[in-house]
Chain A
């Protein structure tokens, strides 16, 4: 469906308004489904524990670390107890 078709179906003629509402709709929809799943790789920096997450993120689904021996990414577990002694 194009934006024009959406505008005709809703009876709204302001393109920018429809685009903003469309963005809200997609955000709302994304909270209800896991439709738009993305992946990216980043460097694992020596002695660094914090990595910035993207601004368009809704939910982290999985984190994998590359096994340097095999070259494959292996999933790692989420630490439930965050009240831990950190360096």
Chain B
């Protein structure tokens, strides 16, 4: 009989160091006896994989990973290149660089000033990015 569970009920993940661990919650039918673990590596898929998974089978592009990353500065090769950041954050960048430069000459008071300004500007940007009212929807049991 086909597995009618949703993907959320079947698969789980967690991050272990630099690795993503994907596990499948097997049903009793799959793992046979009670001594086998319920969570096992996902099985199935008949696609012949290539690239780093050459020689293996599975589901081609079966996993979609969304993550936040450090912006890539590989494109910034000269002084005339644009900084890959939202325009609204330009002033924050200036504050950060100024803060780091005065740190080199051990002017820590100025450094703190610039770093506080940097964090304020970034926080303000993050807060303002989403418009509209900020309302929490109440439920029946909230008084």
Residues of A within 8 A of B (CB): 1-4, 6-7, 9-12, 15, 18-19, 21-30, 32-68, 73-80, 82, 84-87
Residues of B within 8 A of A (CB): 6-8, 11-16, 18-23, 36-45, 47, 49, 51, 53, 56-73, 76, 78-83, 85-87, 89-90, 92-94, 96-98, 100-101, 118-119, 122-123, 125-126
A-B contact list, 13 entries, CB within 8 Å: A19-B76, A25-B118, A37-B68, A38-B66, A39-B67, A40-B65, A42-B65, A44-B22, A46-B43, A48-B41, A58-B69, A77-B8, A78-B12
Residues of A within 8 A of B71 (CB): 26, 30, 35-36
Chain A nearest Cβ from B69, distance in angstroms: 4
Q: Judging by beta carbons under 8 Å apart, are B37 and A27 in contact?
A: no
- Given that A25-B97, A33-B125, A45-B49 are known contacts, is A1 also in contact with B7, CB under 8 Å in the complex? no
Inter-chain CA distance A37–B125, complex, in Å, is 16
Secondary structure dominating the interface of A: mixed
Inter-chain CA distance A69–B56, complex, in Å, is 21
- Given that A76-B7, A76-B12 are known contacts, is A43 also in contact with B79, CB under 8 Å in the complex? no
Beyond A46-B58, A57-B67, A64-B66, 7 additional contacts (C-beta under 8 Å) are A10-B97, A33-B125, A52-B19, A52-B20, A53-B65, A54-B69, A78-B12
Residues of A within 8 A of B67 (CB): 37-39, 53-54, 57-61
User: Contacting B41 at CB < 8 Å: which of A28, A30, A85, A87?
Assistant: A87
Most chain B CB within a 10 A radius of its CB, from A7, A80, A87: A87
